[in-house]
């Protein structure tokens, strides 16, 4: 039976858990006045303060224009600051404002509460095992993605070798 096979696929299970957690998070985060994408921008910005907009867009895997609109809204809300780059007038560096830091703390509390709810019924040992196993899976996939990203394509190799056979 195809349906039973699909239900057993790890990707579907991980996606379902992720979707349910996102939905629960969104409903709770509304009270704090942030969307999940905005929270995600703040989290990644907290990890990489001083980054430019293009670099942040690449990290969070959104288009630069999409991120630009999010940054505009976060800046208007007083949560993000754009500061000129010291060496390039065209570039602005992104920083969290003082107003963003307590809000980020509130969002972390909310995320931890949701995580506890999701992991209810699991022992501390099971929680540790789950994190360890998911980390291994993530590292496996990241390593393979990195290897694929660095492997030269056949077309590139042919171009470097002088083109196709005539």
**Residue pLDDT, tens place only, 43-99:** 999 999 999 999 999 999 999 999 999 999 999 999 999 999 888 888 899 999 999
- Answer whether residue 152 shows pLDDT above 60: no
Name 130's Cβ contacts closer than 8 Å, sequence gap at least 6: 119, 122
Tokens read off for 42? 């703040």
Burial of 69 (0-12, 13-18, 19+ CB in 10 A): exposed
Cβ(67)–Cβ(54) under 8 Å? no
| Per-residue pLDDT, 54 | 92
pTM (two decimals): 0.69
| Per-residue pLDDT, 93 | 95
Residue 125 or residue 39, greater confidence: 125
Out of 2.60.40.1080, 1.10.3720.10, 1.10.10.10, 3.50.50.60, the CATH code matching 2-120 is 1.10.10.10
Tokens read off for 140? 């496996």
The average confidence (pLDDT) of the chain is 86
Cβ(98)–Cβ(40) under 8 Å? no
| Per-residue pLDDT, 128 | 96
Name 60's Cβ contacts closer than 8 Å, sequence gap at least 6: 40, 41, 44, 67
How many Cβ atoms from other residues are within 10 Å of residue 57's Cβ?
Answer: 20
Cα distances from 66 to residues 47, 75, 76, in angstroms, run 20, 14, 16
- Answer whether residue 146 shows pLDDT above 90: no
| Per-residue pLDDT, 4 | 62
Give the model's confidence band at 150: pLDDT under 50 very low, under 70 low, under 90 confident, else very high: low
**Residue pLDDT, tens place only, 79-94:** 999 999 888 888 899 9
């Amino acid at each position: 039976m195809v349906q039973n096979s699909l239900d057993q696929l790890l990707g579907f299970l991980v996606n379902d858990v992720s979707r349910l957690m996102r939905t629960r998070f969104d409903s709770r985060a509304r009270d704090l006045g942030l969307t999940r994408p905005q929270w995600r921008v703040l989290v990644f910005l907290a990890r990489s303060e001083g980054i430019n907009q293009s670099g942040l867009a690449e990290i969070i895997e959104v288009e630069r224009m999409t991120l630009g609109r999010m940054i505009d809204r976060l800046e208007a809300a007083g949560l993000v600051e754009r500061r000129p780059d010291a060496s390039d007038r065209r570039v602005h560096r992104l920083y969290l404002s003082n107003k963003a830091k307590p809000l980020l703390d509130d969002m972390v509390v909310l995320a931890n509460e949701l995580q506890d709810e999701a992991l209810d019924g699991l022992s501390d040992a099971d929680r540790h095992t789950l994190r360890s196993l998911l980390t291994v899976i993530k590292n496996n996939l990241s390593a393979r993605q990195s290897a694929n990203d660095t492997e030269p394509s056949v077309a590139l190799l042919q171009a470097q070798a002088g083109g196709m056979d005539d």
